[in-house]
Amino acid sequence: MVESEILIKELNLWFGNNHILRNITMPINKNKLTAIIGPSGCGKSTLLRCFNRMNDLIEGVKITGSIFIDGKDIYSEKTDVYALRMKVGMVFQKPNPFPKSIFENVSFSLQIKGKLNKQAISQRVEKSLRDAWLWDEVKDRLHTQAFELSGGQQQRLCIARALANDPEILLLDEPTSALDPQSTIKIEELLIELKKTVTIIQVTHNIAQAARISDYTGFIYLGELIEFGPTEKIFTTPKDKRTEEYLTGKFG
Amino acid sequence: MRAFKQTFWLTLIKLGIFITILSLCLFLFLIFTKGGKVISLSFLFEPPKEGMTKGGIFPALIGTLYLTLGSILFALPIGILAAIYLSEYAKPSVFVSAIRIAIKTLAGVPSIVFGLFGLALFVNFFGFGVSILSGALTLGILILPTIINASEEAIKTVPQDFREAAYALGATKRQTIMKIVLPTALPSVLTGAIISVGRAAGETAPILFTAATFYTRRLPKSILDEIMALPYHIYALMTEGTAPKFQVPIAYGTALVLLLLVLTINLVAIIMRYRIRRKKKW
């Protein structure tokens, strides 16, 4: 078995009295792309937001269990949530650049850290934009508004913005669901390239996408992890009847 | 019968619109014809002369500018901070409800009461005397509720997406507010602030006992000097004048200048709002 960088252990999550995630245990492998699939409302996005503790922001949330990253439980009291979120980047469903320039978007996380000088920031911005395959399209207009970009470019800008923190893990919440097919293909290819250096966890509604680009797949249904394993195995010989029914389109 | 009811109803609606437009037109016509006669460049840039029967309104114009500028310098930062608290930090509680009621009440207090309050607190208790400072502070408190409400509305319209993006990058709540939420909301906040500046410029009662003086030829040297102001100048000319034949036209001229000033300020706000809406892409 490949070395696992992240381990979810007996994770439970409630919003008020709603038990959203039920006793999830699942490994995530380093430098692989793990897809989390399942019908809408099953809790897959909520699970994704556990990795960078974004659920902490929601009133009335209760979480038990652990997520270990590099051997440390991120739900222990000692965890610095802000440092965690720099290490674990996130890209959202709808491209959400700040209403600022392209440059300011990518440099935001560097500015708030406040440790780098101007030149170092420029270098990091360029590297992040290159890594997100956006540099050639924007290098002549770094100071124009991010909203001038197309949807697909905006999403790659959001990826560049997350990469500027030099994260170990990148979380993507249905990153292509608001995009056209061409932009989608470009982002899929980008993710395959990125996983060489970053561990990627992606939530997707799009079963075909999970089959195309992921190495491992976890199927979540009604808050439970029904099945987890190498994508090939899950898609060809699912063990659980529910996984098979979901993948063949019987529900979802 | 039905047709009659319909006609009657439509006539009533049209009458409502007609009366509104007519009174506005009459109002503008009156102010412009009566005030237009005395307005000239020297009217704007000369002090009053010969017992305020001749000359211009320069000290009053400057006074109004100082007072409104001072009030906004005081009220804007406080109003924005209060709005940040209410929209980003306050959790529903009795205390927060009490603050909201207090703000609503403050907005409904008659302006002459603000005048008395300013007299008691700033003029007497703090010992600022009748001065620009006392007047600006009193006006500032008068416009505070408007600024808080406008700022809170503006902050609320900043999409949650932006906040989430900032948090996901490791920003603290303070960084998210200072670097993302506030800059995004700022144009709308300022639009609200400009409208309240218009309000402050036209108020008489709050400065009556706190800042305004009947007559001075010289311009103020410090913020502790008393000062003339446009609305109070009108009031003084109409109530305490000794030669109404000369002074009433000057009062109308002053009214026209004040009206144009407030209209210009509001126009700036309208243009700003229009540009924000056009630029906004989220």
Please tell me the distance from the alpha carbon of residue A26 to that of residue A32, in angstroms, as a whole number.
Answer: 14
Does ipTM top 0.90? Answer: yes
CA distances in angstroms from A183 to A126, A134, A172, B203, listed in the order given: 21, 12, 15, 57
Please tell me the distance from the alpha carbon of residue A26 to that of residue A7, in angstroms, as a whole number.
Answer: 6
Identify the CA nearest to B148 among candidates B95, B102, B114: B102
Identify the CA nearest to A56 among candidates A100, A98, A15: A15
Identify the CA nearest to B54 among candidates B247, B183, B256: B247
User: H or E element: which one contains B52?
Assistant: none
Classify B210 as helix, strand or coil. coil
How many A-B residue pairs are in contact by the CB < 8 A criterion? Answer: 66
The residue whose two tokens read 């692989």 is A32
pTM of the entire predicted model:
0.85
A166-211 per-position pLDDT tens digit? 999 999 999 999 899 999 999 999 999 999 999 999 999 889 999 9
User: Is A55 exposed, middle or buried (CB count within 10 Å of its CB: 0-12, 13-18, 19+)?
Assistant: buried
Please tell me the distance from the alpha carbon of residue A44 to that of residue A220, in angstroms, as a whole number.
Answer: 7
Identify the CA nearest to A96 among candidates B184, B226, B36: B184
The CATH topology of domain B57-279 is: MetI-like fold (1.10.3720)
Nearest to A112 among B164, B171, B281 (CB): B171
Q: What is the nearest CA distance from A69 to chain B, expressed in angstroms?
A: 17
Domain boundaries, chain B: 57-279
Chain B residues with beta carbon closer than 8 angstroms to that of A113: 170
Please tell me the distance from the alpha carbon of residue B238 to that of residue B232, in angstroms, as a whole number.
Answer: 10
Domains of chain A: 4-248 (3.40.50.300)
Identify the CA nearest to A226 among candidates A206, A203, A248, A243: A243
Please tell me the distance from the alpha carbon of residue B141 to that of residue B138, in angstroms, as a whole number.
Answer: 5
The residue whose two tokens read 């996380």 is A109
Amino acid at B199: R
Q: What is the pLDDT along chain B (282 residues), one digit of tens a residue?
A: 888 899 999 999 999 999 999 999 999 999 999 999 888 888 898 888 877 777 889 999 999 999 999 999 999 999 999 999 999 999 889 999 999 999 999 989 999 999 999 999 999 999 999 999 999 999 999 999 999 999 999 999 999 999 999 999 999 999 999 999 999 999 889 988 988 988 899 898 999 999 988 777 778 888 888 889 999 999 988 888 778 888 888 999 999 999 999 999 989 888 888 888 777 666
Chain B residues with beta carbon closer than 8 angstroms to that of A162: 168-169
- The secondary structure of residue B57, as a DSSP letter, is -
Please tell me the distance from the alpha carbon of residue A229 to that of residue A215, in angstroms, as a whole number.
Answer: 9
Identify the CA nearest to B131 among candidates B198, B228, B232, B62: B228
Chain A residues with beta carbon closer than 8 angstroms to that of B161: 92, 94, 96
B168:A147 CB<8 A: no
